[in-house]
A and B are shown apart, each in its own frame.
Chain A
Amino acid sequence: MLFNSTEFLRFFALFCAGYYLARRNVRLRNVLIIVGSYVFYSSWDYRFTGLLLFTSVLDFLLALGIDKSSTSAGRRTLLSTSIVLNVGVLVVFKYFNFFQDSLANLLDALGFHAHLSDFDWQVVLPVGISFYTFQSMGYVIDIYRRKIPACRAFLEYQAFVSFFPQLVAGPIERAGHMLPQFHRVLPIRVEQVESGVWLIIIGLFKKIALADNFAPLVALVYDHSIPSAATVFLGTVAFAAQIYCDFSGYSDIARGLAKLLGFELMLNFNLPYTATSMRDFWNRWHISLSHWLRDYLYIPLGGSRRGEARCYLNLAVTMLICGLWHGASLTFVLWGLWHGLGLIINRWYIRHTDWLPRLPRWFAWSVTMLFVLYGWMLFRASSLDSILVFNRALADFSLPNWLWPFVRNLVVLIIPLVLIELKQRRADDPSAPVVLARWPRAALQAALLLTVIVFWEAEPPPFIYFQF
């Protein structure tokens, strides 16, 4: 059940009707959220609702155990159990196929290829597993660190883990931010509805009108054409725009839906393509993941506290995990390491070049964007061989037949995105158009909605991040 499907619109309308009746009774409201979320989740594959339940029950009980445990050894054991089980679930469902294929290739190379088909099991990836596992694991770590008290109401915890607006593609919420919202009655204020409606419209616009129209341009370069420097560059620009519109569009819709229910989700994207350094980029792109990795991985590894070399190693390891989080593929590993390298260079530059003049802003932005774009090429390529082909193509300056129509489409689609982003940047507020006067805002919302309906598909393409 995708946010951009008629099925979801029907589901949400029905859910809202029940929710508005039940919203003043916390227990009833939470039950409704859980039931709605499980219905939502089971629309992909009902079998995986058991996994969602398993993760939430496990972490709920382990967190209670940690909270009650009086010894640090006991607390550490329970935390380790949670981490091992959560990571274990991720490894089994997300990386099993990768490990199996790698083992098969290795055995094949060693001459043991006769019986490989006997072990050819393909594990289906449950949608959203990386998101809710990280969210649940973050809660247990917070309890261990005594940052928040353990939640004693299972319904509240279950509603927090399974909350459908952010269940399958984030933002990866923090328990300290979300659990209190499940603990009390939430008034649905006019500003929230106003902002929620805007976020849903802009999110749908980004996904349906922009991302889904960037998609064939990207496919043209990455799946069909003979690559050259021009096509790789343009195709990667198109992919950068596609993945941003797709994922930030999803996050906007998620935040908007939550607002209509009275909840507040964290900001997940903050104009990432205006970043002037890699560090700046990661403070703006997929904020909930980058902050999760910072708080639960980079800092525990030592962060920048154990010397310069260790800091660089920590950055590389963190970004390697970030790459692997996206999927079991060497292309994601390379993408993660590439960003790790970017962060290392960024840090080195800040620490060692005080004597150099500050880079002009436009230059810093250009360098950052080129670095990010090369990263997207690694991310989008289907294999290491493709990466090699695309790299070689960077020395080929031939132009395809379809260069100008491609550029025209790219420009036509990028203009509205840039206008929206500029408005938000000037207002320094990611929900900027809400501050417009009533009728100009209504006209803008109407134009966006009509465009959304024009491009609405009976069988909508899924969000890119659902596969992670």
Chain B
Amino acid sequence: MKHDAEISFRELLRLILPTLVCMVAALAFLKIAHAAYILPLPSPALFPDNEVLFHQSRASRTRDPASIILLGDSTCLMGVDARDLSSQLPGQPHVRSLALVVWLDLRVYAEVLSDFARANPGQVQTVVLLVCPTKLAGAPTGSGLWNQIHHSTRPGEIEQPGTLQSLLGLQLLRENVFSHLLETPLETKNVAFLGFSSQLETYQTQHYGSMIEQGTFFVPVHGRTNQWRLTPDFAAETRDFRSKMPAGCKLFIGLTPSPKSSSTPFDRANRDEVLRQWNQWMHADGLLTNLPPVLPDLYFSASAHLNELGQKKYTQCVARALAAALQDAPAKEPAQREAVLSP
């Protein structure tokens, strides 16, 4: 058998090199285009998990007529529909949810509020802070991702080191180019309802920053019971939060409900006691103790998140509680209301 027909090293190089040259040229072009701000910014709908944070980050710096701000973790984000709350409150004041997620600490919540107050001076009159009991018990928190999202010089870009894509600079292709062509399907329970992250963005916009989680909560066989506990570590961030509250704002705090299957006979008393303890650091204008500490399981999509039915029910509860609290709370001085405290 003759072997002279075999490919030579030179031929192999001639075969491969043009492709490699084109790849290097394309990568160089990407880098230059990025440096020259020619590439479009990443689509906010690229990473469904971060989409909520992107939305709230943008909302905190946007002109908005809201005078009532909802703050809190994801139980507040999913549990109260800001649009419905607005329509159920006397006088139908504008409500905006700037609620975030449980693993961001209260200082981040305060930062969002401060930014909103700065973008909309003298407008915020009431802040409602709703968190899940787990947060008071000391759920681990951090702010790394938030800082990347909120303080990035190029909004929407998040560094993801360590992958081949980021090593070659190809994340630019995915985030800045492909993200505008391909929608990202959701992987959460919302997939059947919203389908894609862009729909999530649309939903959040239409509902003044609130979100929704579809589904039904399946009670675990060995269900856990509620733990009513306030960790002393929470004091510092609570005080920092309080100090950054816009002046003249009324602050109401409350705890979001748990499923009935994890309830104990003393939930209401325990919840109120923990709230009172927390308020020794917070000095809120009112405690939302007339909110239900537990709700039936069918209102939940997960152990802490309410579903559509639960959100509707809980929003009504919050509307009633807030209306009563606003009636009871003393009015602040107009001058105080105008002032905006910066950090």
Across the interface, name the chain B residue whose C-beta is closest to A456.
B164
- Chain B nearest CB from A189 CB (Å) reads 5
| Docked complex: A432-468 residues within 8 A CB-CB of B | 438-439, 441-443, 445-447, 449-451, 453-456, 458
C-alpha spacing A137/B262, complex, angstroms = 60
Selected from A213, A217, A224, A456, the residue in CB contact (under 8 A) with B192 is A224
A216 at the interface (CB under 8 A from B): yes
Contact A454 B178 (CB under 8 A): yes
Give the shortest distance, in Å, between A21 (CB) and chain B (any CB): 13
* Inter-subunit contact A402/B165 (CB<8 Å): no
Nearest CB of chain B from residue A9's CB, rounded to whole Å:
11
**Known: A24-B3, A443-B22. Is A220-B15 also a contact (CB below 8 A)?**
no
Which residues on B sit within 8 Å (CB–CB) of A224?
191-192
A192 contacts across to B, CB distance below 8 A: 7
The yes or no answer to A428 lying at the interface (CB within 8 A) is no
Nearest-Cβ distance from residue B30 to partner chain A, whole angstroms: 9
B252 at the interface (CB under 8 A from A): no
B193: nearest residue on chain A (CB-CB)? Answer: A401
Binding-face segment, A62-70, A112-120, A169-177, A406-414: A406-414
Bound CA span A458–B3, Å? 39
- The answer to whether B174 has its CB under 8 Å from any CB of chain A is yes
B198 and A405 form a contact (CB under 8 A) = yes
Known: A220-B185, A442-B19, A450-B23. A184 touches B1 (CB 8 A): yes
Q: Which residues of B contact A185 (CB under 8 A)?
A: 1, 3
State the Cβ distance, A360 to closest chain B Cβ, in Å.
Answer: 34
> How near does chain B come to A158, taking the closest CB pair, in angstroms?
22
Question: Number of contacting residues on B, CB 8 A?
Answer: 40
- Minimum CB–CB distance from B315 to chain A (whole Å) comes to 21
| B1 & A450 in contact (Cβ 8 Å cutoff) | no
- A439 in contact with B18 given A187-B1, A189-B5 (CB within 8 Å): yes
Q: Are B195 and A454 in contact (CB under 8 A)?
A: no
Shortest CB-to-CB span from A180 to chain B, Å, is 13
Contacting residues, chain A, for B21 (C-beta < 8 A): 442
Nearest B residue (CB) for A201: B19
Complex Cα–Cα for A194 and B27 (A): 23
- A189 and B6 in contact, given A401-B195, A405-B199 (Cβ under 8 angstroms): yes
With A405-B195, A450-B26, A453-B170: A189-B185 Cβ-Cβ less than 8 Å: no
Which residues of B have CB within 8 Å of A443? 22
Contact call B196/A446, Cβ cutoff below 8 A: no
Q: Please, how many angstroms separate the alpha-carbon atoms of A220 and B168 in the complex?
A: 32
Majority SS of interface residues in chain A? Answer: helix
Does B12 belong to the interface (CB within 8 Å)? yes
Q: Give chain A nearest CB distance to B103 CB in angstroms.
A: 24
**Given known A24-B3, A189-B5, contact A438–B23 (CB-CB < 8 A):** no
CB of A220 within 8 A of CB of B195, answer yes
Taken together as a complex, chains A and B put the C-alpha atoms of A458 and B167 apart, in Å, by 14
- Contact residues in B for A458 (Cβ distance below 8 Å): 163
Q: Which of A139-185 contact B (CB under 8 A)?
A: 184-185
Say yes or no: B23 contacts A449, CB within 8 Å.
Answer: yes
For window 170-193 of chain B, which residues contact chain A by CB distance below 8 Å?
170, 173-174, 178, 181-183, 185, 187, 191-193
Instruction: Report yes or no: B181 in contact with A412, Cβ–Cβ below 8 A.
Output: yes
Give A334 to B5 CA distance when docked, in angstroms.
51
Q: Are B183 and A408 in contact (CB under 8 A)?
A: yes
* Contact A197–B15 (Cβ < 8 Å): yes
Are B182 and A412 closer than 8 Å at their CB atoms? yes
Q: How far is the CA of A458 from the CA of B168 in the complex (A)?
A: 15
**In the complex, what distance in Å separates the CA atom of A405 from the CA atom of B199?**
8
* Residues in B neighbouring A413, C-beta threshold 8 A: 182
A446 to B12, CA, bound (A): 16
Asked if B11 is an interface residue, CB under 8 A from chain A, the answer is yes
Whole-angstrom distance between the alpha carbons of A309 and B181 in the complex?
52
A187 touches B22 (CB 8 A): no
**10 CB-based A-B contacts, threshold 8 Å:** A185-B1, A188-B7, A225-B192, A226-B192, A402-B194, A402-B196, A408-B183, A445-B19, A447-B26, A454-B165
**Interchain residue pairs A-B with the least CB separation, the first 9:** A402-B195, A442-B18, A446-B22, A216-B185, A405-B183, A405-B196, A224-B192, A446-B23, A190-B7
